Amino acid sequence: MKNSQKNWIYLAGIIALIGVAIHIVAIFGGPSWYAFFGAPPSVVRSAREGTLLAPVGALIIAGLMAICAAYAFSALGVIRRLPLLRTGLAGIAIVCLLRALVLWPLMINHPELRNTFEIVAAIVWGLAGVGFVFGFRLVHAQNQDSLSSDDENVET
């Protein structure tokens, strides 16, 4: 795989790590941070009132994004191979790409989604989705190479 394609995988992992940081920092930043990052009104209200919905939700999302980053870095061999690596990368790629693509038709009937943050977020997650697709392809190619070398070892 070309270095440029591996760079896409690194980008996907870094985007996910930035998402982790944003969600953790939002807990300490308070209601204005949740509002800025497009949290639903109920989450902003939770942050304002000090209930658990906002921080627990942010931690759950941060955890999911950390898992996404781990899968990207596992595909690159930076960390150990994670279970169901190809399946995980494929699922993450689909979710990221859907997150990127679903905004455009939704903006037709939901004008509140026509803002800079939502558009930038869609583009960023689209880029991450491309990175996870390359991650899937890299792991798939590695598995194919491994199978080919296993077949050669059996024949000799």
Give tens-digit pLDDT for 86-100.
Answer: 999 999 999 999 999
For residue 111, name the pLDDT band (cuts at 50, 70, 90).
confident
Binning pLDDT at 50, 70 and 90, where does residue 150 land?
Answer: low
Cα–Cα distance measured from residue 149 to residue 156, given in angstroms and rounded to the nearest whole number: 11
**Which residue matches tokens 């890299």?**
138
6: its two tokens: 């591996």
Containing H/E element for 48?
helix 41-49
Q: What is the pTM of this model?
A: 0.88
Give the count of beta carbons closer than 10 Å to the beta carbon of residue 28.
9
Residue recorded with tokens 């991650």? 135
Nearest to 132 by CA among 69, 83, 81: 69
